[in-house]
Amino acid sequence: MRCQPLRRALAFKGSNLYIPGKFKQENIEELVGLIREYPFATIITLSESGIDANHLPLCLMELDGGIYLKGHIAKANSLWQTTEPLSEALVIFNGPNTYISPNNYPTKKENGKAVPTWNYVVVHVKGKIRFIHDPQWIVGVLEQLTSEYEREQVVPWSMSDAPESYIQNMLSAVVGIEIAIDSLSGKWKLSQNQSEINQKGVVDGLSSKSDTNSQTIASMMCANLQQ
């Protein structure tokens, strides 16, 4: 079973992410879609020792009227010991990104007024973090995560494929993470500050490249131009 669908809007509270108006993404479905497509996140927290950053996949789920990010870390990771329960965490989901050459702008040939830049999409999530040691809760999250990410396998792996004793040993070495989402912010930097002719030039330039990031950004820019 995939992560449950988002059924209600989330509040767009104050964000420390710099987002010029042209790049602001407020479509909830787009934001949630990026989180699900690029689930490998960076969690930033604050402890007495300073700023901590951890990287792990997270699943977006709805439960009892709230929206949550859920995952797990190694018990050897001191994050669960040094982070105050229910303190605020910042979670960053980076989507596709790519370099933009000024040579892609047709207007550069007219006046030379062009500089390089970088196009990207990103979602920032803020929420309260807590750590969970209940084995059954962790099993539930692991089952959902593996179901989500194994779905493209011809024969999807499931936890029942491994010996019960092995799974129990693995469970004893992890701690669950749950972040109750308070707000999210999206930045879709797709050359919207450029003229239409320059945007089309960027699309043409990116479409001629073979890497996935360039191709994906080109597709997103095309969708924007068609709106």
- Asked, for residue 92, whether it belongs to a domain, the answer is yes
- Beta strand residue intervals within 145-202, DSSP E: 174-189
User: Closest Cα to residue 219, out of 106, 116, 98?
Assistant: 98
Does residue 2 register a pLDDT over 60?
A: no
- Asked, for residue 222, whether it belongs to a domain, the answer is no
Domain of 189, CATH number, reads 2.30.110.10
- Asked, for residue 158, whether it belongs to a domain, the answer is yes
* Confidence at residue 15, expressed as pLDDT on a 0 to 100 scale: 61
Q: Give the domain extent around 47.
A: 21-194
- Asked, for residue 16, whether it belongs to a domain, the answer is no
- Asked, for residue 154, whether it belongs to a domain, the answer is yes
pTM greater than the 0.85 cutoff:
yes
- Asked, for residue 99, whether it belongs to a domain, the answer is yes
Rounded to the nearest 5 percent, the helix, strand and coil shares of the chain are 35, 35, 35
The per-residue pLDDT for range 73-130, each reduced to its tens digit, is 999 999 999 999 999 999 999 999 999 999 999 999 899 989 999 999 999 999 999 9
Quickly tell me which residue has 């070495």 as its tokens: 173
Count up the domains in the chain and report the number.
1
* Confidence at residue 7, expressed as pLDDT on a 0 to 100 scale: 42
The per-residue pLDDT for range 9-21, each reduced to its tens digit, is 454 454 689 999 9
- Asked, for residue 203, whether it belongs to a domain, the answer is no
Buried b (16+ CB within 10 A) or exposed e, 99-122: ebebebbeebeeeeebeeeebbbb
- Asked, for residue 217, whether it belongs to a domain, the answer is no
At residue 164, what are phi and psi to the nearest 5 degrees? -55, -40
How many angstroms separate the CA atoms of 180 and 73, rounded?
A: 17
